[in-house]
Amino acid sequence: MTKFIAKRLLAGLILLAAVCMGTFFLAHLAISDPTVALLGSSATPEQQAVLAKELGLDRPLLVQFQAWLSSAITGDLGTSWRNQQPVWDQIVLRVPVTLSVVSFAILISAFVGVVCGLIAGLNPGSTFDKGVKIATVLLFALPGFWISLMLVIWFAVRLRWFPSFGYVSPAVSFGGWIRSITLPAVALALGAIVMIAEQLRNQVIAVSQQDFVRTLRSRGLSNFRVNLHILRNASPAALTVIAVLFASLLSGAIVVEAIFSLPGLGQLTQSAAQIGDIPVLLGITMVSVVFVVIIYVVLDIALGWINPKVRLK
């Protein structure tokens, strides 16, 4: 197991370096001259040259990336070009907001998705199963920003159950914190729910048709215990979807945080992209990939623990 975890971590580090390199070069390609984005179009060539030298932009791109990566390995993500503040400090302030929303969204989607998928899979062709299929089509067809706006209009503006924008720290008010992240989390979770439910439904149907299930029923086991065995064998598929969704929820947080005015990584990414603040974009990318790699390693360990048939090679 230790050797396996070490291999997964090594693969994660390679992935981290590759993603950061891709982000670095794509950002420089998209922003042909960062000095123009920072100083404005009215800046003189002399001013642009001075700023380029200060930021190290006069060096070859590969040299710039190597310098950044060497500093990042030691924990120094550089300084923001916009406000001259350390990138790490800005990210640390916003990580709790994004993780709160994404974690709550995963909890909601995992619970509701597993329950709906299990019921639909155990009762294929039923009214509930058909309802899950219809909900899957509708939620995939509707844009995420439209769903977010509808949640704000109905539950924040009309019913006034939740705030329409802003974030409350749990240190200030736990109840206020829950209320401030509920609508954003639900907006993120809706699409994830149908993906988990559909995947688990298909797996439950496939497992239910296997010989060992008929053997368990012939031995007189209760439906509850048989269903537990079915869920245990079908759960790896749901866990895999949940882990994959973590990365997509992080990217989806950019839109959701903009709609609900949450001071998280999504809002920081938007502001950095608008002015071409490459150090901030790279720092956010690195932190996000680290979270994703950790989730994947934990997933692999969980799969082997839940289902012994899954071999960790």
| pLDDT score recorded for residue 263 | 92
What domains does the chain contain, in order, with CATH numbers?
2-73 (no CATH), 95-306 (1.10.3720.10)
- How far is it, in rounded angstroms, from Cα 215 to Cα 209? 11
- How far is it, in rounded angstroms, from Cα 285 to Cα 272? 12
| pLDDT score recorded for residue 287 | 86
Handedness of CA 265, 151, 163, 171 (dihedral sign): negative
| pLDDT score recorded for residue 62 | 87
Mean pLDDT of 223-232: 86
Q: List pLDDT tens digits, range 59-115.
A: 888 888 888 888 888 888 888 988 889 999 999 999 999 999 999 999 999 999 999
Q: Which of 151-160, 201-210, 262-271, 290-299 has the lowest mean pLDDT?
A: 290-299
Q: Which helix (H) or strand (E) holds 174?
A: helix 174-208
Residues 6+ apart with CB under 8 A from 19: 285, 289
Confidence bin at 310 (pLDDT 50/70/90): low
- How far is it, in rounded angstroms, from Cα 39 to Cα 54? 13
Q: List pLDDT tens digits, range 134-151.
A: 988 888 777 777 888 888
Residues 6+ apart with CB under 8 A from 311: 304
- How far is it, in rounded angstroms, from Cα 40 to Cα 276? 12
- How far is it, in rounded angstroms, from Cα 112 to Cα 188? 13
| pLDDT score recorded for residue 173 | 93
Instruction: Give me the chain's average pLDDT, please.
Output: 84
Instruction: Assess contact for 268 and 91: CB atoms under 8 A.
Output: yes
More confidently predicted of 312 and 175: 175
Mean pLDDT of 16-40: 77
Instruction: Assess contact for 262 and 97: CB atoms under 8 A.
Output: yes
3-state secondary structure of 86: strand
Helix axes 144-151, 174-208, angle to 10 degrees: 130
Looking at the chain, list the stretches that DSSP marks H as alpha helix, in order from N- to C-terminal side: 2-30, 34-39, 45-55, 61-73, 87-122, 127-141, 144-151, 174-208, 211-218, 223-259, 265-275, 278-306
DSSP 27-62: HHHHSS-HHHHHH-TT--HHHHHHHHHHHTTTS-HH
- How far is it, in rounded angstroms, from Cα 281 to Cα 279? 5
pTM score over 0.85: no
Mean pLDDT of 276-290: 85
Mean pLDDT of 243-247: 80
Confidence bin at 120 (pLDDT 50/70/90): very high
More confidently predicted of 65 and 40: 65
Mean pLDDT of 169-198: 91
| pLDDT score recorded for residue 250 | 82
| pLDDT score recorded for residue 304 | 63
- Say whether pLDDT at 53 is over 80: yes
Residues 6+ apart with CB under 8 A from 108: 185, 186, 189, 193
Confidence bin at 50 (pLDDT 50/70/90): confident
Closest by CA position to 82, among listed 272, 296, 298 = 272
Residue 286 burial class via C-beta count within 10 angstroms: exposed 0-12, middle 13-18, buried 19 and up: buried
